[in-house]
Amino acid sequence: MRLFAQFSLRNSPQARRRVLTASTILALAATLLPATAATAQLGQSFSVLSLGDSITQGYGTCQIFANCPQNNWSTGNNPRVNSFSSRLQTTHPTSTITTANYARSGNLIAQIPSQVDAAKAAGVHPTIVTLLIGANDLCGPSITPASDGYTMTPASTFRAHTQETLSRIHTAWPSATIVVSSVPNIASLWSVARKTIGQLIWSGANLCRTTRGVSATGERLSDVASATSAAAASARTLHYDDALQTACTKAGPLCDWDGGALTSTPVTSAILSSTDFFHPGIVGQAKIAEVEWKASRFAAANS
């Protein structure tokens, strides 16, 4: 821009020809380069907004029972995680990337619209919005038994709130790309955690009662009832995924659904936090970032 400004201050025909030549070359380059490369060359700016729960606050990743947002998969800046926003910066090295994290520990899907409203009121103008939610709807210790007896958000309720959430995001920022994650595989997570001290932590915190096969008050169910309960939790995860996919489709072409990739990701002890054996650790946050990045249009555009 400085070079062009210097040229424009001169009125000689030669100077005008040089400005024209430079402009023509730049325009031609933009037509020959892929759109993503051209915009990166011009220094496009991106703003990434995170919505979700304690996972997106990096809870437990600093070896204490607290949020540690610098380690989160979406907008964190820890190189070991290589978050979504960090990958965006890598693929757009001349671009400016800003981030805002409005996730809140303990959130259910019903509470996400208020996050949207808060971000909007604060003047956040994202070009990308990431959403990872659902674990607390499956596992929240304060969820009361539904009509089916299970301590999980009913599928119909989750669907209604998911539709409201995606609609609210799209209305607030109609030109933003929405990256929607599937629900973490809690059943797979429990199969690993139950073999560690995590079993005591889950029980003490009253987490994931349906998955663990216990009653609303934490009492162990019979083997048959426990198996039925755990199966119901696995089925509910897929119901939530279906609701998220449907709402994403309705939100329009700027919504990226991960295709169930996170739900399908195997859970191993290596990706769990050693703090509570429930939340993802640094390795787990990095895995989520990798999965969601690969499922998004941004990875495809730069492959």
pLDDT of residue 258: 98
**Token couple for 61:** 């990743």
Is the per-residue pLDDT at 22 higher than 70?
A: no
Q: Domains (ranges, CATH) in the chain?
A: 1-32 (no CATH), 45-301 (3.40.50.1110)
Contact 77, 70 (CB under 8 A): yes
- How far is 130 from 71, CA to CA, in rounded Å? 15
- Which long-range CB contacts under 8 A does 59-64 form with residues at least 24 apart? 59/105, 59/273, 59/279, 60/273, 60/275, 60/276, 60/278, 60/279, 60/281, 61/273, 61/275, 61/279, 61/280, 61/281, 61/282, 61/285, 63/274, 63/275, 64/275
Q: What is the mean pLDDT of residues 59-72?
A: 97
Lowest-confidence range among 19-28, 130-139, 227-236, 244-253?
19-28
For the chain, give the percent of residues with pLDDT over 70. Answer: 86
Distance CA 211, CA 186 (A): 7
Helix (H) or strand (E) segment spanning residue 255 = strand 255-257
Q: Which of 129-133, 143-147, 161-165, 288-292 has the lowest mean pLDDT?
A: 143-147
Q: Does position 20 have pLDDT exceeding 60, yes or no? A: no
Range in 13-17, 73-77, 280-284 the model is least confident about: 13-17
Amino acid residing at 131? L
Tell me what the mean pLDDT of segment 266-286 comes to.
Answer: 96
- Higher pLDDT, residue 79 or 187: 79
Classify 138 as helix, strand or coil.
helix
Greater confidence (14 vs 205) lies with 205
CA distance 295 to 63: 29
pLDDT tens, residue by residue, 218-227: 899 999 999 9
pLDDT tens, position by position, 34-57: 444 333 434 589 999 999 999 999
For residue 79, give Cα distances in angstroms to 131, 151, 286, 301: 21, 37, 9, 22
- pLDDT tens digits, residue range 160-189? 999 999 999 999 999 999 999 999 999 899
In the prediction, which pLDDT does 21 show? 39
| Widest CA span in the chain | 91
User: Looking at the predicted structure, is the pLDDT value of residue 255 above 60?
Assistant: yes
Give the per-residue pLDDT at 12: 41
- Average pLDDT along the chain: 88
The pLDDT value recorded for residue 301 is 82
Q: Are 138 and 211 in contact (CB under 8 A)?
A: yes
